Structure 1
Amino acid sequence: MTEFIPPATRFFELPSPFPMKRGGALRGGRVAYETWGVLGPARDNAVLILTGLSPDAHAAASAANPEPGWWEAMVGPGKPIDTTRWFVICVNSLGSCKGSSGPASINPETGEPWRLDFPPLSIEDIANAAFEAVRGLGIERLACVIGNSMGGMSALAYLLLHPGAARAHINISGAPRALPFSIAIRSLQREAIRLDPNWNQGRYDDARYPEAGMRMARKLGVITYRSALEWDGRFGRVRLDSDRRPGDDPFGMEFEVESYLEGHARRFVRRFDPNCYLYLSRSMDWFDLAEYAGGGQDEDAVMRGLARIRVERALAIGVHTDILFPLQQQEQIAEGLRAGGADARFLPLDSPQGHDAFLVDIARFGPAVQGFLDTL
């Protein structure tokens, strides 16, 4: 795929070698980031946004890049994350293909893409890379770290591994560990990519790209990002007009929902690198705060891991219709942080839009995020 980096994006060169949790080290690594607002003289008004699997660092428009960002309705002057008050930083995850070093990046020792020679990637590595970028901006302590989806995992790791690095935390549809259902879905997504002959053990190019595998992986993901309630409300059992049905395939698309998934998948496949998808997906499956509990793998161990995090205030937000990072995980985050001494609140929302609600249901998420930030 051809990499496109928005013009406002900047880069932070990671310490080299940069040690990775599961072994090995990254040399010549970097992370991409963007900023909005002005850092105050005391450097105490910084808010860090850590993203889900696929977004880049361009969360919102800016003078350097007026194109709308992936969280445009949330970040900007007078918006819930108000850039007239906050200095906002969004870091593209290590392992991505949106500017940060990952399997699609060039290995400086060989001059070729890293591909599967990229070191095994963990959520903790993503968190540590973001921490280095924030520290490189001269910020010793964030006002708040906000994490969405996978970014909610990264934010918990950030706070756990770097005590005192932030005063407050907003966890949005995140999780302290991967649950079996989520692991199963992501396993199928990775299998779809790896079984595509064009994947070729990670050695593909634009001419021979694992498009079928990526399409299937993306469709599986989109199905879990929304809820059955929304699928029913948006599409019902509406069938495609006859001129939109494939005439030579007796098992081809017949329903509007199938056409929607196909269009969504085709828009995604050439915009995200398959190997990066594999690495980031697996990093979520590996993440488990029980590892930091001093023994045990049960839910009590997860709670002990969460209780090791030191933050003054926290808000965990989730929605009832999220099947990928279900609501009980955000409740668990609030309870665990509270056990660690935080003033932590759990906010369940009734959005019908499932896991992706934080991207689209701004009417619910905006006031919740703004209300919390206004108290800091």
Structure 2
Amino acid sequence: MKRGGELRGARLAYETWGTPSAARDNAVLILTGLSPGAHAASNAEDPSPGWWEGIVGPGKAIDTDRFFVVCVNSLGSCKGSTGPASIDPATGEPYRLDFPELTLEDVGNAAYELARGLGIERLACLVGCSMGGMSALGYMLHHPGSVRAHVSISTAPQAQPFAIAIRSLQREAIRLDPNWNEGRYDDAHYPEMGMHIARKLGVITYRSAIEWSGRFGRIRLEPDKREEDPFGAEFQIESYLQGHARRFARSFDPNCYLYLSRASDWFDVAEYGHGSIAEGMRRIRLERALVIGVETDILFPLQQQEQIAMGLREAGAEVDFVALDSPQGHDAFLVDIERFGAAIGAFMAKL
């Protein structure tokens, strides 16, 4: 691991679509944001819709009739890959906070080993969304020349103060919940409230003020749907956030959330360029790249997408840069399928 320590017998969960070519040169690897699992799209074994159902599939932007597509669950997550919630083979107990310090470079390196384990020496394309985009940069920094093309979506070459501040508050909410208990919680004593607040903070930054105003305005809940608590939810936006929090709180392990959140703060391409992002980006070796940003994204602002595009271009890649005016903010790549699909599809058609 980059910051010390090691994992033995670590596992990665992944799903695949399509068929590898004889030369195994048609592989597309997808690295996800913090919370999604490897189920990017439906398949024969799991027909339920995936988190990127509108993008991945036969004839879609990432065409599984043409490409062998692999989506991997990040190292450190709790969706099948080894993370703090996994059993430590040395003790027979969950790692919890004994899990080694995790970086997004570790996430990228683990994904690289997965590709090699599948017999893929060079990816046709590496796709990274949000946190997965940072992991993808780590992958390419450590393994130059292992990727032919790259799609970078709503990500960053380094964590900026606003994003660090939000993630710090999310982690604090979890750690201040008495049930967190220094990471030693169980189903009966679970940091539910901390996870609720962390999720609400996240959802607020994943979308834009434009969308919140358009969807909810100042609409109040019907009187019979309001809480009796005088400070309880009164507006529809409050109820919406509560619903998100309830669905998420038990679906993602709190310690895994803490580790991946901190890993996102630590990531910095400038470490590889003597303090310069531009110099760090020059270590990446690519033929082509597509960089997509969203004008309303406050978590990973458009300026950071421009930095990535410029860095890859100066490193010698042919770069397409697309700035979308989607109102959904950071989460637009999950919901504005029409515009993202058109941009990704046009790029993939050229590979």
How far off its partner does 1:307 sit?
A: 1.6
Using structure 1 for the length normalisation, give the TM-score.
0.93
Q: Partner residue of 1:209?
A: 190
Residue deviations 1:216-267 (CA, integer Å, cap 9, x gap): 00000000000000000000000000001112x1111110000000001000
User: Which position in structure 2 is the counterpart of 1:5?
Assistant: none
Distance apart, 1:358 and its partner CA: 0.2
Q: Retained in 1: the 8 A contact 2:145–2:284?
A: no
1:101 aligns with 2:82: yes
Q: Equivalent residue for 1:144?
A: 125
Please state how far the C-alpha of 1:345 moved relative to its aligned partner: 2.0
Deviation, structure 1 residue 160: 1.0
Q: Distance in 1 between matches of 2:225 and 2:266?
A: 42
Give yes or no for the alignment of 1:277 onto 2:252: no
Partner in structure 2 of residue 40 of structure 1: 21
CA distance in 2 between partners of 1:341 and 1:81 (Å): 24
CA distance, structure 2, for counterparts of residue 344 and residue 322 of structure 1: 21
State the distance in 1 between where 2:253 and 2:154 align: 24
2:53 is aligned to: 72
- CA–CA distance in 1 between the matches of 2:115 and 2:234? 49
Distance 2:68 2:120 in 1: 11
Note if 1:252 corresponds to 2:232.
Answer: yes
List per-residue Cα deviations over 1:141-185 (Å, max 9, x = no partner). Answer: 000000000000011111111011110000000110000000000
- Equivalent position to 1:371, from 343, 346, 349: 346
Q: Does 1:164 align with 2:139?
A: no
**Structure 1 stretches of 4+ moved >6 Å:** none
Tell me the distance in 2 between the aligned counterparts of 1:202 and 1:27: 21
8 A contact 2:173–2:198 mirrored in 1: yes
Segments of structure 2 that go 5 or more residues without pairing to the other structure are none
Q: Deviations over 1:262-308 (max 9, x none)?
A: 00100000000000000000000000000000x23xxxx01111121
3-state SS in 2 of match to 1:25: coil
Report SS of the residue matched to 1:166. coil
Aligned twin of 1:313 = 288
Partner in structure 2 of residue 10 of structure 1: none
Structure 2 equivalent of residue 193 of structure 1: 174
Q: CA deviation at 1:44?
A: 0.8
Deviation of residue 27 (structure 1)? 1.3
Partner residue of 1:341? Answer: 316
| One-letter amino acid of the structure 1 residue matched with residue 248 of structure 2 | F
CA distance in 2, matches of 1:23, 1:44: 34
Cα distance in 2, alignment partners of residues 92 and 336 from structure 1? 27
From 268, 272, 280, the equivalent of 1:288 is: 268
**Is the aligned partner of 1:330 residue 2:305?**
yes
* Separation in 1, partners of 2:98, 2:346: 45
| Partner of residue 51 from structure 1, selected from 32, 42, 67 | 32
Superposed CA offset, 1:199-232 (max 9, x none)? 0000000000000000000000000000000000
Q: Equivalences for 1:232-251 in 2 at 5 Å?
A: 232-247=213-228, 249-251=229-231
CA contact (8 A) 2:144 2:283 kept: no
Taking the aligned partners of 1:126 and 1:290, their CA distance within structure 2 comes to 18
SS in 1 for 2:124: strand
Aligned to 2:248: 268
Question: Hey, what does 2:279 align to over in structure 1?
Answer: 304
* Count of aligned pairs between the two proteins: 351
Residues 20-73 of structure 1 deviation map (CA, whole Å, 9 limit, x = unaligned): 000010112111101000001111100000000000001000011111111111
How many angstroms apart in 1 are the aligned matches of 2:330 and 2:160? 14
Query: 5+ unaligned residues in a row in structure 1: which ranges?
Result: 1-19
Distance 2:60 2:161 in 1: 36
- Return the letter of the residue paired with 1:228: A
**Percent of aligned positions with the same letter in both sequences?**
73
